[in-house]
Structure 1
Amino acid sequence: MPSRRIPDLRALELKGLEPSRDANLSMVDNLYKIAESTTIETANWYLQRRISPSRKSKFLRAAAAISIIIGAVLPLIHSVAPSLIQAEWGFVFLALGGGAVLFDRTFGFSASWTRYVRAGLALQRALANSQIDYVKIYVGINPDSPSSSDIASLIQVVTQLREATNAIVEDETVSWVGYLNESVEELTRSTTRSSPTSPQIKNDERELR
């Protein structure tokens, strides 16, 4: 019987506040619902996006671990039973393990997985704090005749939520761009180190010396 994936913990909308007949307060409340909905959709997007890289990351890490273990055990088996298997096969499996790790680092599956989870949780935390702040102010005012300072305080909560959401998304994007550049540079260095030097180039280097 296939196992079911445990559902993610999703952020919830703020409900149960007394509706207001004041036009200004109703407008602010609608603004907060828009900001709240945007934050929830963004957090859910990150949590949904992390599923694919998490599976690929787990597969590559398992493949790397198994390959390295086999590569380390094969020389021992060869020492006990030389006719059973050649010790050189251990290097093959070690290379496969290293290739799986390099593949993961190049395409950033593990990094994307952790980055998406971190961004989703940060958005949920920002939303929860904002909902608490909004309720603290809302329950202390008269919904039908709020003061200008009350309206300003609620608008400040809305602004903080929008700024926190944008900051988290921007930080995640900057991290993604930085990791992408590092991966390209690392792949270029690996390719340069592994490319053989032709005999003609070696002869030219000797002549220059």
Structure 2
Amino acid sequence: MTSRPFPDLTGQHPSAILNSLREWAEGQAEDTIAWYLSDKAVRRRISRLLRGCAILLGVAGGVVPLLSAATAGIGASWGYVLLALGGGCLAFDHFFGLSSAWMRDIATAQALQRALTEFRLDWATTGLRTEANGGYGPVGPEATRRREDLIRVLVTRTAELVEAETGEWLSEFRTNIGDLNRRSEWTASSAQPSAEPAPRQSGSS
């Protein structure tokens, strides 16, 4: 994800500066939304593929022993292989957080779209009535300050949503790493043979 360069405001009229900042803030939010939607599509396809493979392998792993028993075959052990592969697909999806990631992408994109829509509505309605003329007319100083605040709120809200999603991803990744390390330690300790006492030798009396 890349951010848009800040616009060059040198020598511009205050109203032009305000419009440039508005376009920059809106573009920043739109680019972020597009990134999350694109990332969601990729992760969703991979997650669904892995879970579909896990279901098919699980079903096949359960059917193979039954077919082997019914036909007096010798391939019953392949059922365990297929079940293990199905479990591996689920473990891959869980460890890399594919399912949870594309769900976070959806939630973040929707929150950004809501913030952008609120900004545009507030921008359009602010300044319709000014203190200067008491009716509909040009944007006055009070409306200008209000629009400056709206730009600041949109930029801040966009950054906060991205930071929150990134924080959730880091927390989940650290948790998955910790689970993997604990499982590796447990597997290693289980594989070690238990120490047995040496046989007692009878001494001559």
Cα separation, 2, equivalents of 1:44 and 1:124: 10
Counterpart residue number, 1:148: 141
**Residues 129 and 137 in structure 2, CA contact (< 8 A), matched pair in contact too:** no
- Aligned 1:1-209 pairs, distance under 5 A: 23-83=13-73, 85-141=74-130, 146-195=139-188, 196-199=190-193, 202-203=194-195
Q: How far apart are residue 61 of structure 1 and its match?
A: 0.9
Q: How far apart are residue 164 of structure 1 and its match?
A: 1.1
Change (3 A) 1:145 1:24: farther
**Residues 127 and 139 in structure 2, CA contact (< 8 A), matched pair in contact too:** no
Cα separation, 2, equivalents of 1:63 and 1:76: 20
**Residues 127 and 144 in structure 2, CA contact (< 8 A), matched pair in contact too:** no
Unaligned runs of 5+ in 2: 1-12, 199-205
Cα separation, 2, equivalents of 1:68 and 1:156: 56
Q: How far apart are residue 144 of structure 1 and its match?
A: 7.7
Rg comparison, structure with higher value = 2
Cα separation, 2, equivalents of 1:124 and 1:88: 52
Q: How far apart are residue 158 of structure 1 and its match?
A: 1.1
Cα separation, 2, equivalents of 1:139 and 1:48: 37
The secondary structure found in structure 1 opposite 2:110 is: helix
Q: How far apart are residue 160 of structure 1 and its match?
A: 1.5
**Residues 24 and 151 in structure 1, CA contact (< 8 A), matched pair in contact too:** no
**1:120 is matched by which residue type in structure 2?**
A
Q: How far apart are residue 90 of structure 1 and its match?
A: 1.8
Q: How far apart are residue 110 of structure 1 and its match?
A: 1.9
TM-score, length of structure 2 as denominator length: 0.78
Higher relative contact order (CA 8 A, sep 6+): 1
**Residues 39 and 105 in structure 2, CA contact (< 8 A), matched pair in contact too:** yes
Cα separation, 1, equivalents of 2:33 and 2:162: 10
Percent of aligned pairs with the same residue?
Answer: 29
Change (3 A) 1:169 1:176: same
**2:191 is matched by which residue type in structure 1?**
T
Q: How far apart are residue 87 of structure 1 and its match?
A: 2.7
The secondary structure found in structure 1 opposite 2:147 is: helix
**1:198 is matched by which residue type in structure 2?**
Q
**Residues 25 and 146 in structure 1, CA contact (< 8 A), matched pair in contact too:** no
Structure 1, residues 71-95: CA drift from partner, whole Å, max 9, x if none? 1222322332222x53322221111
Q: How far apart are residue 51 of structure 1 and its match?
A: 3.1
**Residues 36 and 127 in structure 1, CA contact (< 8 A), matched pair in contact too:** yes
**1:203 is matched by which residue type in structure 2?**
A
Q: CA RMSD in A?
A: 2.4
Cα separation, 2, equivalents of 1:156 and 1:77: 70
Cα separation, 1, equivalents of 2:102 and 2:34: 14
Unaligned runs of 5+ in 1: 1-22
**1:98 is matched by which residue type in structure 2?**
G
Q: How many residues align?
A: 181
